Chains A and B, each alone.
Chain A
Amino acid sequence: MTAPASLPALVDLARAIRAGDTSSEAVTERCLAVIRDRDPAINAFIAVTADAAREAARAADRELASGHDRGPLHGIPFSIKDLLDIAGLPTTAASHVRRGHMATDDAPVVARLRAAGAVFVGKTNLHEFALGTTNEESAYGPVHHPLDATRSPGGSSGGSAASVLAGMAVASIGTDTGGSIRIPAAACGLVGLKPVFREVPTQGVVPLSSSLDHVGPLCATVADAAAIFQVIADAPGREGSVPSGTVRGLRLGVPRTYFLDLLDDEVARAFDETCARLADAGVILDDVVIPHAANIAAIYLHLALTEAAAFHSRTLETQPDDYTRTVRVRLEAGRYVLAEDYIRALRGRDVLRRDVTAALEGRDALLLPALAVPATTLGSATVRVSGVDEPVRNVTLRLTQLFNITGHAAITVPCGSTGTGLPIGAQLAGPSTAALLRVSAALEPWIRGHAAAGRA
């Protein structure tokens, strides 16, 4: 297993393109070459748009040469989760249910990236209809982790994460209904951002659960996530300034009960070491409590499955065999939820929102792990944690789904790796995406363990 020493940051490539050190065409050709060489084994892509990408890259280079600069994404190769519409391409959602679909328009997020000069190299594989965290159930086959083909890259945006980690795209756009950006980002050593609910439009995106769905980037650094967020958000905002390089005095709340109760030993150790590095740098960490944390999974299950079942009810009747079996069963379960229990879950959402808001009071962000276990083994329904075999789906959603329920912004940043080199991610959550990005950017060197002593 060989992890890349460092992934190329979007913002660095953007500078290099403008300095003439490279070109959009060269960067794009490099991505396409990696796709050609490695994707037969990784299976990150459902569709590769090589010709259109080359054409867009050459156009980007011509525009930049003529002085027309569309900003930091200009000429940067992106992959797009195949849940978002790109005009002229099918949006498969990794399901045979979508056979014959053809998008006539770009989703607003895609249109904004296109207007910013992004180059699309293709559409990425995912867990069917985004209803899963491993990418194993896909009409196009499972995605394999670029560092270990026997493992899942996480999901549901697993193809997106794998494409960036392998160097097949510089950044990707994914969706996150219970953690589907942050889980694969953590499993693949990337930064993954779930913005505040409804800050990034979901039109033109196949829904999973309409009150939980979010769109956001998977990329190499927090600065990259901020650059992409500035383009795809309705009103990105600029509040919450953190002086560059200064973290002393920042306040982070650590929700230990429930969130740290079920962790792989190496994840727990990496998280403890991250907390120690931050404390050494002068960050003030204190414990906080989410009083209703024990209800998170029950609330999530009732919201997510019920909303998903409503969207899929007709096709579950007319083409049930076009779903993978596991996804079909999950969707069918949602059809049995009683309305009164759905209402209880909606009220529970308000309670959790108040819990998180109270925990953030007087603090810059919450800090917790992003994923309780390293990348899981393909084909395993359970994963052993603290000596007990737990369902993979429950364990992988455990630390992320809260912020889908409450709508708070959340981001994962790499914080270490296992003894075998599998990435481990920390997660920060806050009330405002712009403020969270600034805090995360300041903390990033200490979270990664890259900060030089004395820089606090």
Chain B
Amino acid sequence: MTPDDWLESARADAGRRGLPDLRAALDGLARAAGLLRAADWNEDASGAAGADRGAPPPAR
């Protein structure tokens, strides 16, 4: 699940649960998750080093 996909489903769930003010917190988490996924310490099943991987999809 990309951060964008995650954010879309999290926003929808928060809305369904009557928590619209979660939106800003979820946006912040999505940005943070994007940073974590782009970090150079991540291992990759392909064997590629962090810097060799493509950038993750940006969080909206």
Are B42 and A344 touching (Cβ within 8 A)? Answer: yes
Known: A332-B14, A333-B22. A341 touches B28 (CB 8 A): no
Interface: A294 (CB within 8 A): yes
Residue in chain B with minimal CB distance to A347: B41
How many residues belonging to B are interface residues under a CB distance threshold of 8 Å? Answer: 22
Selected from B10, B13, B21, B39, the residue in CB contact (under 8 A) with A329 is B21
Interface: A208 (CB within 8 A): no
Interface: A242 (CB within 8 A): no
Q: Whole-angstrom distance from the CB of A293 to the nearest CB of chain B?
A: 12
Are B29 and A336 touching (Cβ within 8 A)? Answer: yes
Bound Cα distance from A341 to B28, whole angstroms: 14
Are A295 and B39 touching (Cβ within 8 A)? Answer: yes
Are B29 and A333 touching (Cβ within 8 A)? Answer: yes
Interface: A301 (CB within 8 A): yes
Are A329 and B19 touching (Cβ within 8 A)? Answer: yes
Bound Cα distance from A330 to B21, whole angstroms: 10
A88-107 interface mask toward B, CB cutoff 8 Å, 1 = contact, 0 = none?
00000000000000000000
Q: Which residues of A contact B31 (CB under 8 A)?
A: 298
Bound Cα distance from A292 to B35, whole angstroms: 11
Are A298 and B32 touching (Cβ within 8 A)? Answer: yes
Q: Whole-angstrom distance from the CB of A179 to the nearest CB of chain B?
A: 18
Q: Which residues of A contact B45 (CB under 8 A)?
A: none
In A277-307, the 8 Å CB interface with B consists of 292, 294-295, 297-299, 301-302, 305
Are B19 and A338 touching (Cβ within 8 A)? Answer: no
In A336-353, the 8 Å CB interface with B consists of 336-338, 341, 344-345, 347-348, 350-351
Q: Can you identify 28 A-B contacts, CB atoms within 8 angstroms?
A: A292-B39, A292-B40, A292-B41, A294-B35, A295-B39, A298-B31, A299-B36, A302-B29, A302-B32, A302-B33, A325-B21, A329-B19, A329-B25, A332-B25, A333-B25, A333-B26, A336-B10, A336-B14, A337-B29, A338-B1, A338-B33, A341-B33, A344-B39, A344-B42, A347-B42, A348-B41, A350-B41, A351-B41
Q: Give B residues with C-beta under 8 Å from A.
A: 1, 6, 10, 13-14, 19, 21-22, 25-26, 28-29, 31-33, 35-37, 39-42
Q: Give A residues with C-beta under 8 Å from B.
A: 292, 294-295, 297-299, 301-302, 305, 325, 329-330, 332-333, 336-338, 341, 344-345, 347-348, 350-351
Q: Identify the 8 closest CB pairs spanning chains A and B, nearest first.
A: A298-B32, A333-B25, A298-B35, A344-B36, A336-B10, A351-B41, A341-B33, A301-B32
